[in-house]
Amino acid sequence: MEHVRQFYIGGKWVEPLGGDTIEVVDPSTEKPFTSVALGTAADVDAAVAAARTAFETYSRTTREERLALLDRIIEVYSGRLGELAETISREMGAPLSLANNAQALAGLAHLGTARAVLADFEFERPLGSTLLVREPVGVCGMITPWNWPLNQIACKVAPALATGCTMVLKPSEVAPLNAILFAEILDEAGVPAGVFNLVNGDGAGVGAPLSAHPDVDMVSFTGSTRAGIEVARAAAPTVKRVAQELGGKSANIILDDADLREVITRDVRNMCTNSGQSCNAPTRMLVPAARMDEAAAIAAEAARGIKPGDPRDEGTTIGPVVSEVQYGRIQQLIEKGIGEGAKLEVGGPGRPEGLETGYYVRPTVFSHVSNDMTIAREEIFGPVLVLIGYEDDDDAVRIANDTVYGLSGYVSGSPDRAKAVARRIRSGNVHLNGAGPDFNAPFGGYGHSGNGREWGALGFEEYLETKAIMGHDA
C-alpha cells in the first residue's frame, strides 16, 4: 500500500511530523504484516488548519456540486470494493464473505444514503416572517473504531461532505489500512484540498488533541463508553458539539408465543456475526423462565454449528477477534461467568479445537444467568451469549431496561404483542422478528450508549447548525 506511513492533509499525502510507528497485526496469525505512522498533536494542528481553510469555500458549495462529488466518490469506491474487503479481512479478522457482503458494502450504502438525503433536503424554510437556515456545523473531528471500520467512517464522512463540512479523521490504530484506502478513493474522486484529512494514531497522541482542538467545531466519536467519556471531557472546555455512539448490552426478548427453535437458532447466529464484535449485538437473550432448559439446548446446538476459522476459508462462519488485548478480556469474562455460577452450555475458555494460533474464541453460551452477573452487565464484545429467564412480559421489559446501556433491542413473537413490548424498551432502536438494519433509520443510543444519531436524515442533521433570520420576509 503506497501511502501506508503517510497522512492525507490539505489534499496531499505528507510525511508525519513525528517518527513513531505502530504495527498492524493479522489476528489470524498473530503476526504483524505492516506498520503505520503514529500522529502527534502537531500533525493534528496541520490537518485542522487545512480543514479550517477549506471550510471557507467548501461550505459555500451548491447542492448540485456536492451531489456531483458524492457521485464521483460512489463510482470510485464501487471500483475498489474487493480491495477494501480484503484489507478489512486481514487487519481485523472478518471472514472474506462478511467483508465482501457487509463490511465493504456498508460504506457504499452510507454514501448512497447521504446522496439521497442531500438531493431532497430542505436547507431553508420560512417560519412566519423568519427564515430558518440550516448551515454546516464547521470543522469536524472524527474518531472511528476497528470493528465495522468502513461503516463507521462512511456514516460520518458522507453526511459531513453532503452538508458542506470539512473534517479530520482518526481511524483506529488497530485496523487503519481501510481508512488509507478510503482517503485514496476520496483523493481520486476529486474531493477539494483540505475538505477531508486523515491522521493515523492512538487516542493519546491524536484523539485527545483532536477532541480538545479549539478550531474543531464538532467531534463525532464511535467506540467504548470509557473512551467516549474521555473525548467528552477533552471537548468540554471548547464547548464544541459532541456526538457519541458507544457501547451496548442489548436485550433480545423471545416472547413465549415465538417459535423458540427457529428464533433462537437465528439469533445465536446473528449474535456471533463479526465474532460478536458489534456494539448492537443481541447478547442478552431473555427467554421464558419455565422453558430455560429447552432454550439453552437450542442455543447450544446453534452455537456448535458456528465454525471459527481462517477468514480466507470458504467454510468459516466467524474469524478471530481483533487483537490479543480483546482476546484476553473475553477470556477473563468467560472465566468470570463460570466463577459467578452461570451454567456453561457450550464453548468456554481457550481456543477452539484445531486453532492453536490466532485470536480465536469458542462460541460460548451461558444459561441460568441472573441480570446482576458480570456477564450480563458488561459488554463482552465476543461470541458469548447469556440466557436470562423472565416470568411475564412486564418482567422481560424490566430486565431489558435494567442496564446502563440503551443502544439496541430485539423482540420476537406475535406481531402486535412484539410491537407493544418494543415501545417499552429504552433503546435507540428495536428489531422486531429478525428485522435487519435500515440505513435510512437513525442509529444511536440512550444512556451510556451515547448521544446523537447517525445514518439517514437524522444523522445528516447532526452536521448542521440552525440559524433564524428574523424579519426576512417582513
The catalytic residues are: 245, 279
- The grid coordinates of residue 346 equal 457450550
Closest CA to 274 of 192, 199, 383: 383
CB atoms within 10 A of CB 33: 12
Backbone angles phi, psi at 170, to 5 degrees: -115, 100
Phi-psi region of 96 (alpha: psi -120 to 50; beta: other; left: phi over 0): alpha
Interhelix angle 149-163/63-78, rounded to 10 degrees, is: 160
| Cα 147 to Cα 224, 246, 278, 279, 302, distances in angstroms | 11, 12, 7, 9, 23
Closest CA to 144 of 112, 178, 113, 111: 178
Run of H or E including 56: helix 41-58
| 431 strand-pairing partners | 410
Question: Who contacts 136 (Cβ-Cβ below 8 Å, separation ≥6)?
Answer: 55, 59, 163, 164, 165, 463, 464, 465
Run of H or E including 327: helix 324-339
Burial of 174 (0-12, 13-18, 19+ CB in 10 A): buried
What would the DSSP string read from start to end of 408-468?
Answer: EEEEESSHHHHHHHHTTS-SSEEEETT----TTS-B--SGGGEES-BSHHHHHHTTEEEEE
